[in-house]
Chain A
Amino acid sequence: MLAFALKRLGLAVLVTFTVSVISFSLLHLSGDPAAAIAGENATAADIAAINRQFGFDRPLTVQYTDWLWKALHGDFGESYYFKMPVADLISDRLSITMLLGVCSISFALLTAVPLGVAAAVRPNSLIDRTALFLSVAGQAMPSFWFGLIMIVVFSIKFRLLPPSGSETWRHFIMPTVVLGYYAMPAIMRLTRAGMLEVLNADYIRTARAKGAGAGRVLFKHALRNAIVPVVSLSAVQMGFMLGGSIVVEAIFALHGAGYLAWESISRHDLPTVQALILIFSCFYILFTLLSDLANAWLDPRIRVG
């Protein structure tokens, strides 16, 4: 188990490093950052001055090692637009995105897992069809459009929920539903497929032959085995949700890290974008790492080699 964890950790570090190299070079090669900072009316001299000031005239590798060295010490540079340290800027905003992420994944799991189990227990029943419809619709629903429709219905028509902001828990209801619904279909489908497979397993018959009741068979014997792949999927979905948070936060004017990403990209605020890509990647890598460890712990075939 320890060897497994260490190996997994090493891989995670390597992936993080590669992601940072790729995103750094992509951003620096895809445009002239100095021109972006200087604005439309800048002269060649202005741009040269900015290049010197921010060190864009140095070789890319030097810029990268410099950036990485500082990033490892928690210094992501200064935001061009907000004129404050990127690290402070992001840490201010991250809590809202984290809260949204936790709410959304909980919402997704709390709806998807029971629905998936119910659908698997009664295939082709009304509940199975409803679950299938919800998941097919969810996969095709553009989340930004879903968000707008919710605002039209719940904020404008019925005046039930505030359309934007993050002051109270009521502000989080619509963003949670929109972002959670984005992750729900995949989790629901996997739970259903996993339960269908497990319920046909021989050990389920063994449990019934022992005299275990329907509930015990379903939850203790079946769900325990079907949930293992759902854990890893949830971690992956949580990572994807960070990306989705950009759209959702933009719609509901929720000033979290996703909104910050949108703002800083629109304003070509390179240090902020750079740091956000790295942080979002790190979160994804962390989630998948944790889920692998959780799986190893849940599945004795990995835990006890």
Chain B
Amino acid sequence: MSETILNVEGLTVDIPLGSGTLHAVRGIDFALKRGETLCIVGESGSGKSLTSLAVMGLLGKRIQVGAAKLEFEGRDLRSLTPRQMQALRGDRMAMIFQEPMTSLNPAYTIGDQLCEALQLHRRVSKAEAMAQAADLLGKVGITAAESRLQQYPHQLSGGLRQRVMIAMALMCEPDLIIADEPTTALDVTIQAQILRLLADLKREMNLALILVTHDLGVVARIADKVAVMYAGEIVESGTAKAIFDAPSHPYTRGLLDCIPVPGKTKPGEPLGSIPGIVPSLVGDVAGCAFRSRCALANDACSETIPKRTASGEHMYRCVHETLISEVA
């Protein structure tokens, strides 16, 4: 067992609105060790992006973040000053965003932006920083790195820009990288390349990776651990193998049914879908948030939902003790 990089317990994110408080993330737990990849899966609005921004301390002042435990490399992030948090960001923990087209500053060269990430945290000369940047651009698969450093973001394609973003995240050799839907905005062929790159880099540099996505295809390819989020809660979590082999929460099952499986799904057969919409999280929310869309829902679902253990690390939140796989 290697060291635990990130340990989160009872994380909440509350957004005050004119009409009440939006409980966007409602008490989630997860932990991550060096060398592991955790995929946080969920549909848009499930709170997965907010979770990653909360860990990075990138949410605005208006948004309240709470947690029973929020430890990064043994340090309590809740007790850090904004300045200490700023020193961690980009150094020990880095982030890659969804929109490579708009995530780079149009006014500065790629080289300047890469160097900035290093020079903010290390006392290095510009030349040393440039050398490191060129080296990393090569590592993320960009050829002619030296000339790319002189270019501006608008001269690069989306795939290249996302590689630059990855290189930027790696500049200080962080222990944790959070990638928020890093492939969503890219072409399908490029998506696969970027994912393989992330997986390779994680192994090579022995870092912890959190990948936020709504795409179960991505999860199947890269994840060690999976956390399925729904309406601000983790409804099921465990190793990727456990989740895919024995999905225990009706929502996870629903998600898996939406994916066509070659050989199994017959031509012409309609793909699975989950009817209904995500409930509003403004005001007090109790019971299972999925019950209005769930085929197995009964009166007990509006009570407090127990957290159940399926096997080992595999947990899920449902009133049904044993999953009735035939019904779902």
Contact = CB atoms under 8 A, between A and B. Distances in A.
Interface of A: 201-203, 205-213, 221, 224-225, 298-301, 304
A203 B90 CA distance: 14
B166 to A, nearest CB: 12
Given A201-B102, A299-B107, A300-B107, A209 B56 contact: yes
Contacts of A207: 105, 116
B87 interface: yes
Contacts of A205: 58, 97, 103
Given A201-B102, A300-B152, A304-B155, A209 B94 contact: yes
A262 B97 CA distance: 60
B121 A206 contact: no
A213 B116 CA distance: 12
A305 to B, nearest CB: 9
Contacts of B58: 205, 208-209
Contacts of B97: 202, 205-206, 209
A210 B58 CA distance: 11
Contact of A225 (B83, B106, B109): B106
Interface footprint category on B: 20 to 34
B120 A225 contact: no
Lowest 6 A-B CB distances belong to which pairs?
A: A211-B90, A210-B90, A202-B102, A300-B152, A211-B89, A203-B105
Contact of A206 (B88, B151, B165): B165
Given A202-B97, A213-B86, A300-B154, 9 more contacts: A209-B58, A209-B94, A210-B90, A211-B87, A224-B108, A225-B105, A299-B107, A300-B152, A304-B155
A225 B58 CA distance: 21
B104 interface: yes
B95 interface: yes
B97 to A, nearest CB: 6
B168 interface: yes
Given A211-B91, A211-B121, A212-B120, A206 B155 contact: no
Among B56, B83, B106, B165, residue most surrounded by chain A Cβ atoms (within 10 Å) = B106
A132 B2 CA distance: 57
Contacts of A203: 102-106
Nearest to B85: A211
Contacts of A208: 58, 89
B319 interface: no
B117 interface: yes
11 contacts: A202-B97, A203-B103, A203-B104, A209-B95, A210-B116, A210-B117, A211-B89, A213-B86, A225-B106, A299-B106, A300-B109
Contacts of B116: 207, 210, 212
Interface in B63-111: 83, 86-91, 94-95, 97, 99, 102-109
A151 B89 CA distance: 56
Nearest to B154: A301
A221 to B, nearest CB: 6
Nearest to B56: A209
A225 B107 CA distance: 7
A144 B95 CA distance: 56
Contacts of B104: 203, 206
Interface string B99-137: 100111111110000001100110000000000000000
A198 to B, nearest CB: 10
A270 to B, nearest CB: 49
Nearest to A298: B107
A210 B104 CA distance: 12
B114 to A, nearest CB: 10
A173 B121 CA distance: 46
B167 to A, nearest CB: 12
Given A209-B94, A212-B116, A202 B103 contact: yes
A301 B109 CA distance: 11
A211 B120 CA distance: 7
Contacts of A301: 106, 152, 154
A207 B116 CA distance: 9
A207 B109 CA distance: 14
Nearest to B155: A304
A294 to B, nearest CB: 14
A225 to B, nearest CB: 5
Given A205-B58, A304-B152, A304-B155, A210 B106 contact: no
